[in-house]
Amino acid sequence: MKLKSLNAITFEEEIYDNGQPCLVVFSRKNCHVCAEVVPMLEEAAENYIDSFGFFYVDVEDESDLFKRFSLRGVPQILFFNNGEYQGKLGGLLEEERVVEKIEEVRMG
């Protein structure tokens, strides 16, 4: 499942207004680690169609969003619930690690 791409405006809507538990992966096109992590998220998303949001931010197109969270590199996965930041995971990741964090965020 392709992840829904966010820009500065839709980011506000999805993360803060809707407030559903979700993750946002910050990624860029020419990063090979991202190219491993993003497809893994696309697969994981199949299992959470209505229960957890999966979003994508291209840091080259949306550099302001990237700067706002003062991130040091990509890929970075940020987790939110009710519009509140719940932590992040960076770099090359195993699917198990992400699923663990998703469950943690869902349980609140």
Partner 1 sequence: MSNIYDIVIIGGGPAGLSAGIYGGRAKLKTAILEKGTVGGMAATTREMVNYPGFKTSTGPELTKAMADHAREFGTEINKDEVKDIDLNGEIKVIKTKKGKEYQTRAIIIAVGSQPRLLNIPGEKEFRGDGVSYCATCDAECYEGLHVVVVGNGDAAIEEAMFITKYASKVTIIVIHDEGTLDCNKLSAEKAFKNDKIEFIWKSVVTEIKGENAVTGVTIKNLKTGIIQELQTDGVFIYVGMVPETGFLKGKVEMDERGYLSCNGLMETSVSGVYAAGDVRTKYLRQVSTAVGDGATAAVAAERYIAEQESFRNYVLNSDKPILMAFWDPVVQESLDLLSVLEKTVADHGDAVNLIKIDMSRTKMIAQKYNVSKVPTVLYLQGKDEFTVFDDENCIAKLDAFLKRNI
**Which residues of this protein are in contact with partner 1, per CB under 8 A?**
28, 30-36, 39, 71-76, 88-92
Q: How far is the CB of 33 from partner 1 (least distance, A)?
A: 6
* Residue type, position 9, single letter: I
Q: At closest approach, how far in Å is the CB of 73 from partner 1?
A: 3
27 SS3 class:
strand
Q: By C-beta, is 2 or 72 nearer to partner 1?
A: 72
Of the pair 33, 83, the CB lying nearest partner 1 is at: 33
Neighbours of 74 (CB within 10 A): 20
Q: What count of other Cβ atoms lies within 10 Å of the Cβ of residue 75?
A: 23
